[in-house]
Chains A and B, each alone.
Chain A
Amino acid sequence: ILNVEQSPQSLHVQEGDSTNFTCSFPSSNFYALHWYRWETAKSPEALFVMTLNGDEKKKGRISATLNTKEGYSYLYIKGSQPEDSATYLCAPPGNKLVFGAGTILRVKS
Chain B
Amino acid sequence: LAKTTQPISMDSYEGQEVNITCSHNNIATNDYITWYQQFPSQGPRFIIQGYKTKVTNEVASLFIPADRKSSTLSLPRVSLSDTAVYYCLVITSGTYKYIFGTGTRLKVLA
| B and A form one assembly | no
